[in-house]
Amino acid sequence: MLRHLLDLLICPRCLPAEKPLRAEVRDLRGGEVHTATLECPKCRASYPVSDGLATVLPAGAPEDRYAASGRLAGYLWSHYADLAGDPDAHQAFPAWGALLAGAGGPALDAGCAVGRLAFELARQAELVVGVDRSAGFILAARTLARTGQLGYELISEGELFETRTVRLPADLPRARVEFLVADALAFPFPASLFGTTASLNLLDRVPLPRLHLAELDRVSRKTGATLLLADPWSWAEGPAEPEEWLGGRRSGPGAGASRENVRRLLERMGRPPWRMADSGRISWMIRHHRNHFERIHSDYLLARR
């Protein structure tokens, strides 16, 4: 973990109180913390940094549903196939990155998976942090940040696989990018830290979508901040109870279209309120095998304050 993040992290279990973590560093290599224990002076919770990987979760173990079910290769393809000139690749990440062009840092990508948006933001922000509950995704993203490349086995059909390699552009300032195992419902960061915050395709995956919006609001700067939120609104009972959905319901607080409801929430519940700068739709794809792709449209809201 980048050493200067030590000065920024707070205890996710003590929120809404913001308690800076104390670090006992056992192995420091240049600007990187390799092994350490981060401890909260108030609740005494401790968080490990092991092989450079920091796990700063409010409770429970890292979520490895995505990586374990073979989705790691699928996400690596979805995030990076365009860089390798794959003719089937989608262009959603450069498009989301372009929406944030000129937005100030530091930048946070919530639910970053294997990290592409974070790298898209590296040229414009002095520090970019990606967080995800999946340790498998964060390990892959960290490998890319530290070495610039990562090989993986991509399903071709049936039992057949092909070897692919992700290679980041040589001139990308990837040393500014760090990835942590952390929760988008309890960010281990103090209020008003980030000039840019992004949440792509995460809002309909968390059990408490309103709390995720409140957390994005909390860690965003009060002024000079940009927030990009994109989601396909695939509400389902697995991730969140219907009472928690922010749209797609016939009645109650989640009645009507999610995009309008979320826009209203940001405008009304933001402290201070957000104003909409842009909205639209960007399509992306999940690859099942070489002849089977799933296309997803995500509405986006670009907000500033």
Ligand X SMILES: C[S@@+](CC[C@H](N)C(=O)[O-])C[C@H]1O[C@@H](n2cnc3c(N)ncnc32)[C@H](O)[C@@H]1O
Query: Which residues make up the interface to ligand X (CB under 6 A)?
Result: 63, 66, 111-113, 131-134, 137, 183-185, 200-202, 205-206
Question: Least distance in Å: CB of 56 to ligand X?
Answer: 11
Largest CA distance in the chain: 56
Question: Least distance in Å: CB of 240 to ligand X?
Answer: 10
CA–CA distance, 21 with 44 (Å, rounded to integer): 10
Question: Least distance in Å: CB of 303 to ligand X?
Answer: 17
- Please, are residues 92 and 71 in contact by the beta-carbon 8 Å criterion? no
**Of residues 59 and 170, the one with the C-beta less far from ligand X:** 59
Question: Least distance in Å: CB of 197 to ligand X?
Answer: 13
Question: Least distance in Å: CB of 164 to ligand X?
Answer: 17
**Of residues 28 and 83, the one with the C-beta less far from ligand X:** 83
**Of residues 205 and 263, the one with the C-beta less far from ligand X:** 205
CA–CA distance, 16 with 32 (Å, rounded to integer): 29
**Of residues 112 and 193, the one with the C-beta less far from ligand X:** 112
**Of residues 100 and 184, the one with the C-beta less far from ligand X:** 184
- CB-closest chain residue to ligand X: 111
**Of residues 61 and 255, the one with the C-beta less far from ligand X:** 61
* Strand pairing category for 128-132 and 177-182: parallel
Amino acid identity of 284? W
Cα–Cα distances in Å, from 177 out to 146, 227, 228, 248? 9, 18, 18, 36
| DSSP secondary structure of 250-296 | SSSTTBS-HHHHHHHHHHHHSSSPPEEEEEEEEEEEEEEETTEEEEE
Within 10 angstroms of residue 44's Cβ, the number of other Cβ atoms is 9
Question: Least distance in Å: CB of 204 to ligand X?
Answer: 8
CA–CA distance, 234 with 204 (Å, rounded to integer): 6
Question: Least distance in Å: CB of 250 to ligand X?
Answer: 25
CA–CA distance, 108 with 207 (Å, rounded to integer): 20
CA–CA distance, 187 with 110 (Å, rounded to integer): 9
**Of residues 34 and 248, the one with the C-beta less far from ligand X:** 248
Q: Which of 122, 181, 189, 173 is nearest to 1 (CA)?
A: 181
